[in-house]
Amino acid sequence: MKRLSPGSDTDEKLKALDESGIPPLSRRERFGAGLTALGGAAVGGLGFYASFDAVSKAAASWGFTEPWVLPTAIDSAIPVFTGAYLYLIRMDMPLWWARLVPWALSLITCALNVASGNSLWSRVSHGAMSLLWVAVSEIAAHIYAVRIGAATGRGRRMEKVRWARWMLSPLPTFLLWRRMQLWEERSYETALLLEQERIVYQAQLHGRFGRAWRRKAPVASLLPLRLVGAGVPLAETAPAGLRAAGIEPTGVFAPAPKPPVPPSPALTAVPAPVTPPTSSVLPAVKRPRGVTRAVPPQTQAGIPQWSTEGELYEIIKDVIDNGRREVFNGPLTGRAIGVVLCKSQGEGRKVRGRLIETYAATKGIIIPDKATLDDVFVLFNQALTPASP
């Protein structure tokens, strides 16, 4: 295998692949892309020239004292506003209406070219020539925007629903598309999986209670379906809902088997760490000989290890039931949750708040919109503390 030198061109390609996620172009592909760019610039220039000539003559007949100003201003503004929109994306300050300006100008220049023709085919040819310049600008803008999104991670678009599904099942497909838009679920396959879980859950309730399952099923078993509308996956709430209806969770809702925990001794002898010399004025505390300390079986500052939202939900339930408010300022901050789930700090706080609201709903507790964590613990204490006779 050829050894890569630190400054080789292959290293640069691998670095580009790691950062953007798109394989770099080969030498032949880069050469072809260069020829395509030159040809596109030439075609766009011809379209700009044809549009300029046609609109200038039409502007002169319309009474413009400087007829060249009209085509120059309109055709030049298309790439200018397109570039401004791309720079806004690059600086993470997109404006939705800024993208409409080049489109509106494209329609205007096409209409002016069509109006400058005398016959039908003359108008068609003038409109087609003006669209060459517009098409080149749009393709260049699309390539640049996709590359920015691949490099920054903010350009992943929402996947489209297949046209065959729209044609064969319009109403359910619209509801599926609506859920994707409301809860920003960009993956079409993930949306299908969530929809299949919902159908399976409803089928189990239908088989247990019959056609009137919405009226006969307990409220606790209907709660997971309502929480789905709030973006809570059924995989987190379906087992409890099925047990409330007298159904043992099986199939996709069956709980994952827990790995066997090896027996651990109550106390494990651990040698005292070697303390480096320090300039502190406090004397070092020495551990008496023969005394050992217990190694706690839990990690993450007093909470178990977790990696999924389902495991985090169980930890949050235990923290709230035991009144451990300090945990939310330590290992369960929004930033710590976001690191485990590979999300941002704000999304980590949202996940924590959503799981708290889910647990509160199972207890019949309504949490106000602007409630703090201290307010949440007060509400739980009031709901869980039995009233004195």
* Whether residues 141 and 180 fall in one domain: no
Segment 150-155 shows an average pLDDT of 52
Asked if 209 and 217 count as a contact pair (C-beta separation under 8 A), the reply is: yes
Between 163-172, 199-208, 228-237, the lowest mean confidence (pLDDT) is in 228-237
Of 102, 122, 152, the last residue of a domain is 152
Average pLDDT of the chain?
74
In a domain, 263, yes or no: no
Residue-wise pLDDT for 335-383, tens only, equals 888 888 888 878 888 888 888 888 888 887 888 877 788 888 888 887 7
Of 95, 127, 152, the last residue of a domain is 152
In a domain, 281, yes or no: no
Among the listed residues 186, 92, 97, 181, the one whose alpha carbon sits nearest the alpha carbon of residue 145: 92
Residue-wise pLDDT for 82-133, tens only, equals 888 878 877 777 777 887 888 888 788 788 778 776 777 777 776 777 677 6
* Whether residues 104 and 22 fall in one domain: yes
pLDDT value, residue 171: 93
Burial of 171 (0-12, 13-18, 19+ CB in 10 A): exposed
Q: Residue 194: give the domain boundaries.
A: 163-253
Rounded to whole angstroms, the Cα distance separating 67 from 58 reads 8
Of 235, 253, 271, the last residue of a domain is 253
The 8-class DSSP code of residue 264 comes to: -
Between 10-19, 197-206, 290-299, the lowest mean confidence (pLDDT) is in 290-299
* Whether residues 353 and 247 fall in one domain: no
The 8-class DSSP code of residue 65 comes to: S
In a domain, 298, yes or no: no
Tokens of 175: 């509801």
* Residue 9 CB partners (closer than 8 Å, separation 6+): none
Task: Indicate the number of domains in the chain.
Answer: 3
The 8-class DSSP code of residue 328 comes to: G
